[in-house]
Amino acid sequence: MAEPIEESTEDTPKAAKQVTQRSPFAGCILLIAVACSFLFILVFSFFSLIKQDSEIQQFTTETSKPVPVSNREARADDITALDTRLIEFRNAVIDEGKDGELRLSADDLNLAIAGHDEFVELRETFYVEAIRDGKLVVKVNEALNGAPLSGTSYYLTATITGVPAISDEEVVFDVQTIEVPGKTVPDGFLGNYSPRRIMQRYKEHEVLGPIMQTVYEAKIDGEALVLKAKLPEPETNEGVGEGLMRLIGLIGVFTAGLLLIVFIAVKFGKSSK
């Protein structure tokens, strides 16, 4: 009878030790990668701004050339007449709750800028030359910042054309063309320049803010800028109630269909036994 062979314990491989510690180099590599990416973004952004500054210099000047401003002293009576129309428009919409329409000519817009200190930032920088062909034609003299840390400012002295629009309860100027005599303005600059939010600073104004919130349409009609305004409709729960009823109805139909399926399944199950 053969003797049983004893299993050798010397040749049995030992269980490999679990390595619980991670290499510190993995974290260092990750940090280096993040730092390099951040540095690349900074360098790329800096040189992009330098390139943009170089392009802006091609159609701007370092000298301010103010645009005309209406004579507020000589046109005092006209400014008073304009103020009367503006007040009537505001009262009709805000106080009486009526639909309002205000027509403003190029001269009206320039008188408003010259005659009211609220628009002091627009004096010598924004002058409506005409309203024609469905567009506002405006002369601008706008300061632009130069390259970072250069301390240089440039001035865009140009004629711009565009149309008014409403965006987020604010009247904005959608610029379509920029013309600088003897210069070419890149399309990329126009894309960043428009729309001009010249009324943004007045959204919180105690008088201009509330009336601007009621304006729902701004368009060009002939030689006038037309603003249409009305108080917003009061919010109601009618829409919410109708939606809830529809939801309840759908749930009821789904539940009835499910019960019908269960009933049929039980009925046929009993009959098959």
Tens-digit pLDDT profile for residues 86-119 = 999 999 999 999 999 999 999 999 999 999 999 9
Is pLDDT above 70 for 267? no
Instruction: Give pLDDT tens digits for 19-66.
Output: 445 566 666 777 787 778 878 787 766 666 666 677 888 899 989 999
Average pLDDT over residues 64-88: 96
Count Cα atoms within 13 angstroms, Cβ side, for 95. 7
pTM exceeding 0.85: no
Average pLDDT over all residues of the chain: 82
DSSP structure class, residue 8: P
* More confident: 219 or 150: 219
SS3 53: helix
Residue 128 backbone dihedrals phi, psi, to 5 degrees: -80, 110
Average pLDDT over residues 225-230: 96
Kind plus residue range of the DSSP H or E element containing 174: strand 171-179
